[in-house]
């Protein structure tokens, strides 16, 4: 997934304040697809303001068939959630 850094700080994929895609709706719940509260991780080491960052997902389908919705949003760890940026993917497990 590609996202543009529209803020005024660098995104990093390392350190205590790295950016991730965290679960939403409700926030910080355990995902059925990752068994974690984090859905995706930034591929690039640094993404400057105005640049595009690419997030990698490592998902594993649950054993139960069906249609699933996963909600997530960018979070700068130990700093803030980027509010207003909630996203949703729909997954069909068969």
CA distance 94 to 90: 13
Decide: 3 and 51 in contact? Cβ < 8 Å. no
Q: Kindly state the average pLDDT of the residues 6-24.
A: 96
φ, ψ at 23 (rounded to 5°): -70, 145
Domain boundaries, the chain: 2-93
Predicted local distance difference test score (pLDDT) of residue 73: 95
Model pLDDT, residue 84:
75
Read off the pTM: 0.90
**Secondary structure class of 52 (helix, strand, coil):** strand
Tokens of 5: 């850094």
pLDDT, residue 46, reads 98
- Written as six digits, the tokens of 76 are 């700068």
pLDDT (tens digit per residue) in 82-93:
977 789 999 999
pLDDT at 43 exceeding the cut of 80: yes
Of the candidates 45, 68, 66, 41, the one whose C-alpha atom is nearest the C-alpha of residue 56 is 41
- Spell out the alpha helix ranges (H) of the chain: none
- Would you say residue 81 has pLDDT above 90? yes
DSSP, collapsed to helix, strand or coil, labels residue 46 as strand
pLDDT band at 30 (very low <50, low <70, confident <90, very high): very high
């Amino acid at each position: 997934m590609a996202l543009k850094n529209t803020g005024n700080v660098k995104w990093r994929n390392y350190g205590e304040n790295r950016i991730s895609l965290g679960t939403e709706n409700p926030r910080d719940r355990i995902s059925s697809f990752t068994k974690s509260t984090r859905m995706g991780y930034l591929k690039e080491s640094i993404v400057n303001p105005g640049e595009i960052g690419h997030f990698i997902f490592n998902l594993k389908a649950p054993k139960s068939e069906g249609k699933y919705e996963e909600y997530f949003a960018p979070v700068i760890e130990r700093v803030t959630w980027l509010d207003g940026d909630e996203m949703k993917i729909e997954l069909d497990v068969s």
